A and B are shown apart, each in its own frame.
Chain A
C-alpha cells in the first residue's frame, strides 16, 4: 500500500473528527471525536515512520496514546462535573461565560 493512501485516510479521519468536535453537542460525543482526531494523527505518524524506516514517528504515536489516556481522564472528569451542575451533558448548556 502506498503511503499516500494512509495519509489520505488519516486526513479523512481527522476531518471527520474535527467535524464531530464542532457539530456534536453531547460532551461524550465530542470526546469521542477528539479521540478520532488523535488517532488520525497517530496513523499519519506511523505511516511516515514506515515510509522513512525510522522510529521517530512510532515513538511520537506512543506519546500521543499516553497523552490521550490522560486527556480522556481529564475530559471525563469535566463531563461528570458538567453533568452534576447542569443535569445534562450538552456542551451548549455550559455557556455561562458568554461575553
Chain B
C-alpha cells in the first residue's frame, strides 16, 4: 500500500497541476507539485522504517496489464532499492522547492511542475517496477519528461533543439533496450525481473553456445539502452546540450534521476546480464569518466562543467556496477545525487545572482556577495573533488576498492578522481574566489530563502552522507564487496587534496591558459563527437528526409490530380444522361422498367 502510494503520489500531483494549474497562482502550483513529491518522500521514509525493522521485501500487485508472462502492474522494493527511492524522492522534493523560487517569474510553471511530478513518477517506476516491461514504461516516460523539461523555454531555438537532441539520442538507446527486452523474453519467456534472475543465474554456467550468444546480444542491447540514458560514450552528446533547460531541471535530470537510470538498470540486472557485457560496461565507464573529466576541465560555462562532470561521475558508477560492486555503484550514485544537486542548484543560484551569467571567466568574487551559496557550493565541490570527509571521498574510495584487482581500471578511477578534484577546484576558484571580472559579478545578490534552504540541505547531505554510510549509520541494503585498504584510502585522499590544492592555486587569481588554445578548444567542444554525428547521422538523415519529403509531395500531388481527373471523366459520362430532353428521360425510364421486368421474369 505504501509502495503503491509512493509511486502514485507524484503521478497524482502531475494531473491536477497540469489540468487545473492555471486556476491558481504560480507559487501555489509549485507548492502543490512539491507537496506531492514530499508526500511521496514521506511514504519512502515510512517504508525505510519498515525495512529497518527487518522487512526484506515489499510487493504491490496492482493488477494485470499485458498478456505476457510477468507483465503485470506490480511493484517490488528491496533493501537495495530503498535508499534509491529515498534519494529520488528526497532530492526531487528539494529541487522542486528550489524551483518555486527559481521560476518565480516564469510563465510556464504549470507545464514545468506537471513535468517534474511526472518525471519523479517515471523515475520511481524505473526503480521499483517488478518487471522489465513496466520498467521500460518508466524508461520511456523519463525520456519524454526530459524532453519536456529541457525544452521548457520552448521559444529559445537552442533549448528546443537540445530537447529534441536528448529525445532522439535517447530513442537510439530505447530502441536497443526494447529489442533486448524482447530477446530476454524469447530466452526465458518472462519479463518478471525476479524470475529472470532465478532462471538465468543457474543457467549461466551451462548455457549452450547459441543461448550464450543470445544472452550476449540481449545484454549488449540493454547496455546500449543504459548508455544512452546515462549519457555514456558514445551516446553522451545529449547531456551537455541539455544545459539549455532551467538549472533545477539539470539538477533533477543530471543528478538525482534520469542519468542514473542506466546505473539502476545495471545494478538491478547485474546478475542477469552476460558477464563479458557487464565488464564491457566497466570499460566504457572508465573511458567515459576520463574523457568527460578532461572535457570538463576545458569548459568555460559553469553549467557545462557540471554537465561533463556528471558524465564523468556516472562513468565511475558504471565501473562499479560493471565489476559487480553494487554497493560502490549505489553509494556513489546517491552521494553524487547529493553533491551534484547541490552544485547544480548552486550554479542556478549563481545565475540568479548575476543576471544569468554562465561564463566563468566573467564571474568571480562571489564569495563576498553570496556567502550562503558559496558555502553550499563549496560543500558540493568538496564532494565532487572527493576531499575527505565529504561524501564523494567515501564513495569513490568504494569504487576504487572494488577494482583493486584490475590495475587498469584502478588507474582510470584514480585519475578521474584527481581530474575531478582539479576541475571542481578550478570552478570554485574562478566563480567565487578570483577577482570579479564583470559588473554582474560585482553586483551579485544572494538568492531568496526558498532557494537557499534546499541548497543548504543538499550541501549538508553532500558533506555528511558519505561518512554516515561508511560509518554504518545509514544502511545501503548491500554490503561492500571489498574493504578499502589503508594505502588506497591514503592515496586517494592525497590525490584529491593535491589536485584540489593545485586547482585552487592555479586559478585563485583568475582564468589562466595552461594548455595550448588548440587543445583546450578541442576539449571544450567535446573532441568533435557532435561534428561526427552531424556528418554521420544528422546530415544523411536530413538528406533522406528531404528526398522523401519531395517524393511524398509529388506522390500526393499525383494522387490528387488523378482523383480530380477521374471525377471529371466520370461526370462527363453522367452528363450525357442529363440531356435536358423530357423524351430521353422517358425513354430511359421505360428501358429501365423493361430491364427490371426482364430480370424478374428470367429469375
Interface residues of A (CB under 8 A from B): 18, 21-25, 30, 91-92, 94-99
Contacts and interface: CB of A to CB of B under 8 A. Distances in A.
A84 B581 CA distance: 19
Contacts of B586: 21-22
A12 to B, nearest CB: 16
Contacts, number: 37
B590 A92 contact: no
A92 B583 contact: yes
A98 B578 contact: yes
A25 B583 contact: yes
Contacts of A92: 581-583
A97 B584 CA distance: 13
Contacts of B578: 97-99
A30 B580 CA distance: 16
- Of B574, B575, B576, B586, the most chain A CB neighbours within 10 A belong to B586
Nearest to B583: A22
A21 B586 CA distance: 7
From A30, A92, A95, A99, name the one whose CB has the most chain B CB atoms within 10 angstroms: A99
Interface residues of B, number: 13
B579 interface: yes
A91 B578 CA distance: 15
Contacts of B468: none
B581 to A, nearest CB: 5
A22 B575 contact: no
Contacts of A22: 583, 586-587, 590
9 smallest beta-carbon distances between A and B, as pairs = A99-B578, A98-B580, A95-B580, A99-B575, A91-B582, A22-B587, A97-B580, A21-B586, A95-B581
Contacts of B581: 91-92, 95, 98
A95 B579 contact: yes
Contacts of B577: 99
A18 B591 CA distance: 11
Contacts of A99: 574-580
Contacts of B579: 95, 98-99
Contacts of A23: 583
7 contacts: A22-B583, A91-B583, A98-B578, A98-B579, A99-B574, A99-B578, A99-B580
A94 B584 CA distance: 12
Interface string B586-597: 110010000000
